[in-house]
Amino acid sequence: MGVKKYSIEIKVGIIVTVALVIFIWLFNYVKGLNILKPIHHYYAVFSDINGLQESNPVFVNGYKVGLVDEIHFLPDNSGRLVVVLAVEQNIRFPEDSKAVLFNADIMGTKAIRVREGHSKQFLEYGDTLSTEVEQSLLDEVSEQMIPLKEKTERLVTTLDSVVTEIRFMLSNGMKEDIPAITHDLRSTTSHLKRASYALDTMLTARDGQVQTLLAGVNENLRTLDRILTNLSAVSDSLSQADLRAAIDNLNATLEQTSLMMSRINAGEGSLGKLTTDDSLYIAIRTITLRLDTLVDKIIDNPKKYIRVKLF
């Protein structure tokens, strides 16, 4: 009797255990996690998970390798969230890999994509991945639409101001002037058309003259180009000449001339004495006066001074 009682309890325990195992397996399977496969955990820390939930998938290169097993706050009261990634495959990630939070579909379902790095060093199971939040399509559209919205609002405001000004002008009696303004615009447009036609006709009729004028201008430009070329050649020749030596010689000559003039002014030398001493002038004047007296005497009594003998 006791044996049968124990055997029934054992059967019940086995059935309950099997049922519990099956329930746990079904529960994890519904979550998307197969506990019959080896599971490894990695961690990622986010400031904002944007609606990420437990059991959301984890992808590597577009292939689902696990799911979000748990989400909880860091105990440092910083408000950051720890996301536990349960990976079913025996995958080792490089140290510079990142856990990227992104939108898995257009409905905004969040998921984690592990972007593998290029480091040759690998993370250990249980290590923490660097994180990144990928901007969703809706966020990108919103970011692009905000400037457009602001510009549209400014445009509407400007149009409203213009309409207000137009209404103000019309209310001040300009309504009656609109037909006259329209007539003037039509008249101006007609005059412009006639002027354009006349100008086109004149240019067409005198096309030969215009071509001759342009040919003359081109010839003058070629002549000017030759003149500039010759000036350039002359400039090159002057630049190659030894102008410095000529200038130095001229400066030396001027210095010597200045020195000579200084010596003359100082009365040095024969020329200096002539320019500074008036005795020569007095002597010459005396001789001139005596010559004048002698000439007068000869004229008055030539026989006394000039004797003519006849043979």
d(CA 180, CA 187): 10
To the question of pTM greater than 0.75 for the whole model, the response is no
What is the per-residue pLDDT for 43?
Answer: 95
Summarize pLDDT for 36-94 with one digit per residue, the tens: 566 888 999 999 888 888 889 999 998 888 889 899 999 888 889 999 998 877 788 99
d(CA 45, CA 81): 6
Helix (H, G, I), strand (E, B) or coil at 30: helix
Helix (H, G, I), strand (E, B) or coil at 4: helix
The domain ranges of the chain are 1-31, 38-134, 136-172, 174-206
What is the per-residue pLDDT for 150?
Answer: 78
Burial class (CB in 10 A: 0-12, 13-18, 19+), 91: middle
298 has a pLDDT exceeding 90: no
DSSP code of 135? P
Contact between 69 and 85 under an 8 Å Cβ cutoff? The reply is yes
- Enter the tokens of residue 14: 């086995």
The CATH number that domain 38-134 falls under is 2.40.30
Summarize pLDDT for 128-173 with one digit per residue, the tens: 999 998 876 556 555 666 777 777 778 788 877 777 777 766 666 5
Degrees, nearest 5: CA angle 48-111-23: 110
Quickly list DSSP for 67-117: EEEEEEE-TTSS--EEEEEEE-S----BTT-EEEEEESSTT--EEEEEE--
What is the per-residue pLDDT for 173?
Answer: 59
Element containing residue 46 per DSSP (H, E): strand 40-46
